[in-house]
Structure 1
Amino acid sequence: MRELPPTAGLPLKLLDLRPGGADFAAAATAWLQTPPLQLECSGTAAMVVALNAMRKLKPSRREVVVPAWTCPLVALAIHRAGLIPRLCDLAPDHYDMDRQELEGLCGENTLAIVPTHLGGRLADVHVAGAIAQRVGAFVLEDAAQATGARQDGQSVGLLGDAGFFSLAVGKGLTLYEGGLLTARDPALRAAFAESHRELIACDPRMDRQRALELMGYAIAYRPALLPLVYGHPLRKALAANDPVTAVGDDFGPDIPLHTVSRWRQAVGVRALPRLSGFVAATRQQALQRVKMLRQIPGIVVFDDLPGDEGIWPFLLLLLPDRAQRDAALDELWTAGLGVSRLFINALPDYGYLNGIVPPADLPHARDFAARSLTIGNSLWSRDEEFAHICAMLERVVRDYRSSRHSP
């Protein structure tokens, strides 16, 4: 059986794994054209390090405002930093935060606002920046899913005060976990470096684990082996009616905080020269496929706005309602075609976040969770496979409309 991944990650070559050491942060800084980047063991760790530094700079402030539909690790990172998440509902039919609600949530206790770029589609950082300036808060861009994207002619992560990126599996280039952190202000970068020294330590056990996982990724991340490492666990979780585990939203409270070995950094440095071509090829493929999806009545597919140049690990869609989204997933989620969901719930609806995020009325975030699905943009995806996905989506929408109009 052939299995496509739900996100487009850069495949590694066996030669990338040869012995050696390197400085990945320096290489990534040159590639992204940003101020100096600080390497962490994950995007989540980068967020913890950043918030810890910000909390010390503004110790009277305790709240961090984030979208109500985002990765649960965001809430866990805020909690790990000793801070309180405040959840902002989404704009209707959109993944970005609602401006009016964001303005109402922010005040003298707001430490940071976290505009979030999802699946390579970019958030409106200018809105967050204007509100943050009014209340004296930081803007920390969550670019975990947007490494290589550009906004207003520069890398994402630079329109706010600081930004962080993820090097996890499926997000372009991976070190099998890893994160990058930067800030425009040298004083803030110095605070991040001090926070790193306070929180991060060498962990030989995690070094060995991540090295083995990275080697496993290099071997198994291909359509012939993904049925074993991705497809089988997915189908097992869905058969148990556990979509949270199926998409990998099942996080524990512990956030690893450790250094990244020089060997894993060298693997990333060797693969990095291939990343620009990979980003360009996935963009070209995605833009062609977005046009195809837009021919299907009732489906919203998210694209770049003027001034944005996002990346395309997958395509993010909204169907007209939950019933149609679920009908599409019934046909496509286990078909090996890379169709999946991004985040299963709005943040308050994950049981393991009870006591970390407050209950809240979040109609737009819950609606987005109920109506959205993703289509992987792997370069292994064949045109006929994508045409099958489009035909299935079109049939679901057509059948639903016919049933509504039948006597």
Structure 2
Amino acid sequence: MRLRPEHEAPPTAGLPLAASDLAGDVAAPLTAQAAFFLGVDEVQLECSGTAALTVALTALAEHDPSRNEVAIPAFTCPLVPLAVRRAGLVPRLVDLLPGHFDMNPARLVEACGERTLAVVPTHLGGRVADVASANAIAHSVGALTVEDAAQALGARRDGRPAGTHGDVGFFSLAAGKGLSIFEGGLLVAQDEAWRTRFRHTSRRIARWHGGWELRRCLELAGYAALYRPAGMGWAYGNGMRKALRDGDLLGAAGEHFHPDFPLHRVGRWRRAVGARAFPRLAPFIDATTAQARARLPRLAGIPGVHVFSDEGGTWPYLMLRLPDEFSRNAVLERLWGSRHGVTRMFIHALPDYDYLEGMKGANDVPNAHDFAARTLTISNSPWLDDASFEHVCAVIEAVVVSR
């Protein structure tokens, strides 16, 4: 039986909150549990993954003011270049490998030099990036790597957690992520001296803001109540469908971002909610990984469809590359407004967001444009039952085969 008409699958497989997460004893602080989970000495909590990146880059820039460029993939979350600019730095776009989300190493070499402060290798949608190549290229010019694991908490590469392969790493605890305190971010670093600098920078630029924290507490309470099959229409689907009817693709994807994004401390209650929920994260990742593995062959068997996969990643959604933009758009025409959790990862390659304006390297990123034009995602939420998943596959198959 498919999803009931009043039920909706979310676009990503987030860990639902339980009533017991909202009150009660805390066995260990959120940061301590996260540090143990990641196998690191210390984790710093910020109000978002974007804030964590901003804190890290601000500290790096203050330590070496002679460098002001940050190399980033030309297809990633628009908040990344906004964070780079918020830290007073210049984003330099790097084109992707053909048909892939990872930066092309040859293009990264071209982008890096004496002005490069940091390189940001990015794990996308739980799929793991080649951080080793980024490390080698960044270190060869005296830069550091800041590993973007915002969408990859719990993923592993070569036996080590994603986010711990670079000099610095950060994660997101936003709504719909594996673990959410509605907005939150984790920041890690290999070197104690950098961790100390990050703490000092955070205290200076991310001060307490009662208004923002009250808002986030209310939003987290709403998330706890509505992040359910029967509540997702109110929390997500109805607004998404209205945006689609209005032709507002950025609104449908939740990408109306502002350069003046919040920077503030996270309060006790949200920390405690995350700490109570954290023990359920690893079993949830195991369950969603098993579901994804069972569903991958069906999608991979559709002619012309490429499903991104690896051994160590997490599975918030299934990421597909279709034969061409026409096929991708035809599938989305039928499924984006449905209740089956089908959507676009990011609407554009970074040069095509009006609010980002001009960026270095923006004129030569053809692979990023192609990736943006041909990809879509399917929710890996347990609430997308087998019959609904098969319906999604049948639509994709009918569109692709008809081409």
The answer as to 2:2 corresponding to 1:2 is no
1:33-48 mapped onto 2 (5 Å cutoff): 33-48=39-54
Aligned to 2:239, which of 225, 233, 236? 233
CA distance in 2, matches of 1:74, 1:137: 18
1:97-142 CA-to-partner distances (Å, cap 9, x unmatched) read 1111111000000000000000000110011011011101000000
Aligned residue type for 1:153: G
Aligned residue type for 1:312: W
1:31 shift after superposition: 2.2
CA distance in 2, matches of 1:35, 1:392: 47
The answer as to 2:16 corresponding to 1:11 is yes
Partner secondary structure for residue 229 of structure 2:
coil
Aligned to 1:270, which of 261, 276, 285? 276
The residue that corresponds to 2:70 in the other structure is 64
Aligned to 1:397, which of 386, 397, 400? 400
TM-score normalized by the length of structure 2: 0.96
1:165 shift after superposition: 0.4
Instruction: Tell whether the 8 Å contact from 1:164 to 1:181 is kept in structure 2 after alignment.
Output: yes
1:160-216 CA-to-partner distances (Å, cap 9, x unmatched) read 101000000111100010000011111111111111122111111111111100000
The residue that corresponds to 1:178 in the other structure is 184
CA distance in 2, matches of 1:388, 1:235: 19
Partner secondary structure for residue 137 of structure 2:
helix
Instruction: Tell whether the 8 Å contact from 1:34 to 1:155 is kept in structure 2 after alignment.
Output: no
1:14-35 CA-to-partner distances (Å, cap 9, x unmatched) read 2211267773211211222223
Aligned to 1:349, which of 352, 355, 372? 352
Aligned residue type for 2:202: H
Aligned to 1:248, which of 249, 254, 274? 254
CA distance in 2, matches of 1:67, 1:237: 27
The residue that corresponds to 1:403 in the other structure is none
Once the two structures are overlaid, the 10-residue window that deviates more, 63-72 or 20-29, is: 20-29
The residue that corresponds to 2:152 in the other structure is 146
TM-score normalized by the length of structure 1: 0.95
CA distance in 1, matches of 2:382, 2:352: 34
Instruction: Tell whether the 8 Å contact from 2:12 to 2:381 is kept in structure 1 after alignment.
Output: yes
Q: CA RMSD in A?
A: 1.2
Instruction: Tell whether the 8 Å contact from 2:94 to 2:103 is kept in structure 1 after alignment.
Output: yes
Aligned to 1:299, which of 300, 305, 309? 305
Instruction: Tell whether the 8 Å contact from 2:52 to 2:185 is kept in structure 1 after alignment.
Output: yes
The residue that corresponds to 1:79 in the other structure is 85
Note the residue ranges of structure 1 that are not aligned, 5 or more in a row: 401-407
Aligned to 2:320, which of 314, 317, 321? 317
CA distance in 2, matches of 1:39, 1:221: 23
CA distance in 2, matches of 1:372, 1:382: 22
The answer as to 2:338 corresponding to 1:335 is yes
CA distance in 1, matches of 2:249, 2:114: 38
CA distance in 2, matches of 1:399, 1:117: 33
The residue that corresponds to 1:109 in the other structure is 115
Instruction: Tell whether the 8 Å contact from 2:38 to 2:164 is kept in structure 1 after alignment.
Output: no
Instruction: Tell whether the 8 Å contact from 1:333 to 1:339 is kept in structure 2 after alignment.
Output: yes
The residue that corresponds to 2:165 in the other structure is 159
CA distance in 1, matches of 2:62, 2:111: 22
The residue that corresponds to 2:139 in the other structure is 133
Partner secondary structure for residue 269 of structure 2:
helix
CA distance in 1, matches of 2:185, 2:330: 36
Q: Percent identity?
A: 54
Instruction: Tell whether the 8 Å contact from 2:48 to 2:184 is kept in structure 1 after alignment.
Output: yes
CA distance in 2, matches of 1:310, 1:77: 25
CA distance in 2, matches of 1:379, 1:229: 18
Instruction: Tell whether the 8 Å contact from 2:93 to 2:359 is kept in structure 1 after alignment.
Output: no
1:241-293 CA-to-partner distances (Å, cap 9, x unmatched) read 11111011110121211110111111011111111110000000001111111
Distance 1:225 1:357, change over 3 A: farther
The residue that corresponds to 1:386 in the other structure is 389
Aligned residue type for 1:384: A
Aligned residue type for 2:282: S
1:136-167 CA-to-partner distances (Å, cap 9, x unmatched) read 10000000000011112111112110100000
Aligned residue type for 2:371: F
Partner secondary structure for residue 298 of structure 2:
helix
Instruction: Tell whether the 8 Å contact from 2:344 to 2:375 is kept in structure 1 after alignment.
Output: yes
Instruction: Tell whether the 8 Å contact from 1:348 to 1:357 is kept in structure 2 after alignment.
Output: no
Partner secondary structure for residue 283 of structure 1:
helix
CA distance in 2, matches of 1:356, 1:244: 20
Partner secondary structure for residue 309 of structure 1:
coil
CA distance in 2, matches of 1:161, 1:32: 14
Aligned residue type for 1:398: V
Aligned length, in residue pairs:
397
